[in-house]
Amino acid sequence: MTRVDRNGFAIALALTGVCTIAAGQEEESWIIQNARIHTLAEGAEPIESGSILIRDGRIVEIGADVTAPAGAAVIDAAGMDVYPGMMDSVSQLGLTEIGAISATVDTVELGEMNPHLRAATAIHPSSEHLPVARANGITHAVVAPGRLGGFGGGGAGISGQASIVHLDGWTVEEMDINASAGMVLTWPTLSTRSFNLATFSMDRRSFREAKEEYDRQVAELGEVLDAARRYAAAGEAGARERDVRLAALGPVVGGEMPLLILAQGEREIRGAVEFTKEQGVKMILLGGSEAWKVKELLVENGIPVILGPTQRLPGEEDEAYDQPFTTPGELHDAGVTVAFATFGSSNSRLLPYEAGHAVGYGLPQEAAVRAITVVPAQLFGLAEDFGTLEEGKVANLIVVNGDPLEIRTEVEHVFVNGVPVSLDNRHQSLYERYRSRPRPER
């Protein structure tokens, strides 16, 4: 059970002395009081000892002098901080449960060109990973198809459309924010080495052979987009036989939907930028392990980067040991728009720590917080409803007892789509189970 009955949740809070409800009134709204509120609105300072009134899924009023209406459920958050809910900019939440069991993994389909497929159709709302991520402050996420492998990789091609969902709901329809948020494209790699699963060894080929394959794959991508333009033009001229693949690419070539291009190396990033300039389409770079090498190019072309995990080893043997830690700060200082993502499912809960780790290596703390709240909302066209705490916006927010990027900070309350949700999760239940197991007598 993911969605919590409002009255039941309110009663539970009341029994713990955290929440009170006016006697004889059926609660229809929620108010968080006495908290330090970080709205993250441009130029706004935190509201000391402020309140947030929530009704019908949205923030109705926010400030230092908000009166609790009759019948409102009250959460006393004295000594706590309120932030916008975090957004995992690229994840596979709900698409994979246990990586070693193929029946629980639904991230890819046959073929290299599947622009008509939507991640939302495969999301499993009862996934155990959703409550775990939610309990650590992740309230909504971009769910992307493809062989992301936790952080990029896999064959080149168009995997399908990424979907944005709330991390709470009985059905995908209840969770839905935007089922077609971006088109995921894994950029071809130019490599003379590849791992052979049959022999468990490295296969080698000449640079000429690798370059020929790379050029062929890039040409095929260009041909697909050109065909989508012709298809869209034919549609405006009159009736024609429907092609679901080309129809799905219409918003991409029309400039309405971004291409989410997964590329890691400098050469691949440069190739992807050149390709999107020629095609006249929007690009958001995913992964970007070597984005620091082309930061001027990214700034010049206004291309944002959604970085993968910072808590990892360098990608190449000749890279500095701390390059994954310093890359976010380098890009930010250069003027590149940066967001963070986990590119996985079980590790989505680590999102705040990926951002927090970069703070110790040059990224300003405020920029790190905005990179998992405000910036993702802006990149995916959700800024009117998400990313900051302002009147009229969707009430996706968290109440914490410290800096949300610190691993010692505890998440006390989570609101998803204006509803307080349970923080119970499998990690917690297993911890409590084995912590209380009987100890054998010595």
Residue type, 331: L
In this predicted structure, the answer to whether residue 3 has a pLDDT above a threshold of 50 is: no
Confidence check: pLDDT of 399 > 80:
yes
For residue 54, what pLDDT is reported? 97
- Read off the pLDDT band of 1 (50, 70, 90): very low
pLDDT over 90 percentage in the chain: 78
Q: What is the average pLDDT across 263-277?
A: 96
- Report yes or no: 184 and 343 within 8 Å, Cβ to Cβ: no
Q: Specify the pLDDT at position 345.
A: 95
pLDDT at 318: 87
Distances (CA, A) of 391 to 24, 63, 66, 322, 374: 28, 10, 12, 41, 15
Q: What is the pLDDT of residue 289?
A: 94
Where do runs of H (alpha helix) occur along 244-322?
244-248, 250-253, 266-279, 295-300
Q: Output the six-digit token pair for 341.
A: 């993502």
How much is the pLDDT for 24? 37
Which of the listed ranges 9-23, 72-86, 233-247 does the model predict with the highest average pLDDT?
Answer: 72-86
Q: What is the pLDDT of residue 270?
A: 97
Residues in the chain: 442
- Over its C-alpha atoms, the chain yields an Rg (Å, rounded) of 23
Above 70 in pLDDT, residue 349? yes
Tokens found for residue 157: 């091609």
- Kindly report, residue by residue over 95-123, the tens digit of the pLDDT: 999 988 989 999 988 888 999 999 999 99
405: phi then psi, degrees, rounded to nearest 5? -90, -10
- In the structure, what pLDDT confidence band is assigned to residue 203 with cuts at 50, 70 and 90? confident
Q: How far apart are CA 225 and CA 11, in angstroms?
A: 55
* Start-end of H helices in 254-372: 266-279, 295-300, 323-334, 351-359, 365-370
pLDDT score, position 23: 39
On the question of pLDDT at 233 being above 70, the answer is yes
Question: To which residue do tokens 């991520």 refer?
Answer: 133
Q: What confidence tier does 207 reach under pLDDT thresholds 50, 70, 90? A: confident
pLDDT at 86: 98
Average pLDDT over residues 11-35: 59
Average pLDDT over residues 154-183: 94
With cut-offs at 50, 70 and 90, classify the pLDDT of residue 237.
low
Global pTM? 0.90
Here the tokens at position 112 are 């290299």
pLDDT, tens digit, for every residue of 35-54? 999 999 999 999 999 999 99
Question: What does pLDDT average to over the chain?
Answer: 90
Percentage of residues in the chain with pLDDT exceeding 70?
A: 91
